Each structure stands twice: as C-alpha cells, then as structure tokens.
Amino acid sequence: MILGAAGSGRREILHDLITDGLAEGDRPVVLLSAAEAPSPADALLPGLGRWDWVEGEGIGAEIPAGATHVFLVTDGRRNPVDQIQSFHTWLSSREGELARVLCVVHCGLAQKHHPLLVWYDALIHFSDVVLLNRREGIENKWIGDFQARYKGQFFPCLFDLVKAGRVKNPALVLTPGALRMSQAFDELEEQLEAEVVEYEIGGDPETDEEAEQAAEEEEEDELKEDLYFVRLAGGRRAKEIPDIGKYL
C-alpha cells in the first residue's frame, strides 16, 4: 500500500521500486485511485489499473489473475485513515498477504504547512518505510528534525531519502516485513497461520474450549483496536487529522 499526498511523486518512485526491486519473472500490478489525475509516469507502470471508492463500502478493486505483487496507490486527496481501514477489510476478504506499507512524504508541503505534521503522524503510524521526497530547497536541519520527531518516539519504521525519484536500495524497501507502529494488520497474518494449522491437524473449531479461546481473543482484539480507527458516539474519529485537500 502506497500512502502520501497527491503530487508527492509516488508513481515515479514506484516505477523505480518495481524496475530495480523485483526479481525476473515477477508479475507486478499497480492499482491507482481513479481520483488521481493522470501523470506521465503512468505509462511506466506495469499492469496499471484503477480502483474506485465505493460509498458505504470503501475500496472497490479486484486483484488481476496471475499477479505476484500488487501495489495499491491511495487517493492522495482523501482521508488516508478511511482508506487504510478499508484496505484492511479489502485485503482480508481476498486472503491477501501484506508485504509493506510505504509512505512518501512531500517535504516541501510538510514544511510549508505545519498542521500537516499531524497528518503525516497518522500515515507514518501505519507505515513500514517512509520515503522523504520533494526535498528541493529544504534545509538538512528540517529533514533531520522531521525524522527525529519519530525516532524519538521509537517508531520502528525505516526512513530513506529519495533523489531524482530513486531510492538507494529498492529491494530493501520492498522486502516483506512489518516495521510499523500500528498492529492493525497483525491479526491478518495470525488468521492465515491459524487457518493453515487447523487444516493440517484437522481440528474442529466448534469445541467449547476453542469457542472460549476465540471469545477471549476477540475481546483482546477490541481492546487493542488501532487508536486512529476508534470512533466516538457521534461517528467522529477520536483521533482526527487535518483535511489534506485544504493544503493542495
């Protein structure tokens, strides 16, 4: 999943990652939000398709047959938390395995509009890799302070600088593995592992002991619901973020 604001250079970076980060024989597919404006970089993206936001449902897209890697680029003008939560449901329903969540930071935009630091806080909370792009005219001190904002809070994600649309080590960026602060996607991996074990041992999940265990696990999941997903009684999110559309 590729997060970031519209105009942050996500498609150019994605072309670099796919070209130099995947192995021969891989069959990547890029799913781009239908709300994103066309870009010259689109012609460079393999298997490019569009996904739509369906009101009341969220992400509407299918994984093309034969694809080994799917890169879903979010709508850079819509609330990212809504899209991340929908992506969680979408991925689970298709029994997909999450490799990485990438965040591309438009450094010029973030420096110009201080309130957007809170917006990027949300994205980086869910991200395994943070790629700092659009750094033209940005002082090194600001770049250092931006990274320190998260390293000081012990965020486990990987930070890297983008230069001319390229990263130093594309293969490392794409290597599967959770480095994110959020645990929102962890249960997907646990669910897949549990299904494999049940299939192998022929277990019956309807026993009283297993039903009790399932109830306890469900209660634990509710307690550890991601703080950005929590909604108040009126429907508003408990942890709100700025509207990115107002700054673009």
pLDDT digits (tens, 9 = 90+) for 88-136: 899 888 878 999 999 999 999 999 999 999 999 999 999 999 999 999 9
Residue-level pLDDT at 195? 42
Residue-level pLDDT at 192? 44
Classify residue 94: in a domain, yes or no.
Answer: yes
| Model confidence, pTM | 0.85
In the DSSP assignment, the letter for residue 231 is: B
Classify residue 200: in a domain, yes or no.
Answer: yes
Provide the residue range defining the domain that includes 199. Answer: 188-223
Classify residue 151: in a domain, yes or no.
Answer: yes
> Would you say 162 and 8 are in contact if contact means Cβ atoms under 8 Å apart?
no
Number of domains in the chain: 2
> Would you say 226 and 184 are in contact if contact means Cβ atoms under 8 Å apart?
yes
208: Cα separation from own chain's centroid: 37
Classify residue 230: in a domain, yes or no.
Answer: no
Query: Do 201 and 85 lie in a common domain?
Result: no
Residue-level pLDDT at 186? 86
Query: Do 175 and 215 lie in a common domain?
Result: no
Classify residue 39: in a domain, yes or no.
Answer: yes
Closest CA to 99 of 177, 15, 44, 30: 177
Is residue 200 predicted with pLDDT exceeding 70? Answer: no
Query: Do 131 and 31 lie in a common domain?
Result: yes
Classify residue 73: in a domain, yes or no.
Answer: yes
User: How do beta strands 102-106 and 129-133 pair?
Assistant: parallel
Torsion region of 221: left, alpha or beta (phi above 0 gives left; psi -120 to 50 gives alpha): alpha
Query: Do 127 and 205 lie in a common domain?
Result: no
Query: Do 178 and 195 lie in a common domain?
Result: no
Query: Do 173 and 203 lie in a common domain?
Result: no
Report pLDDT digits (tens) over 55-70: 888 999 988 889 999 9
Report pLDDT digits (tens) over 133-163: 999 999 999 999 999 999 999 999 999 999 9
Is residue 188 predicted with pLDDT exceeding 60? Answer: no
Spatial distance between the Cα atoms of 244 and 122, rounded to a whole number of angstroms: 12
Classify residue 234: in a domain, yes or no.
Answer: no
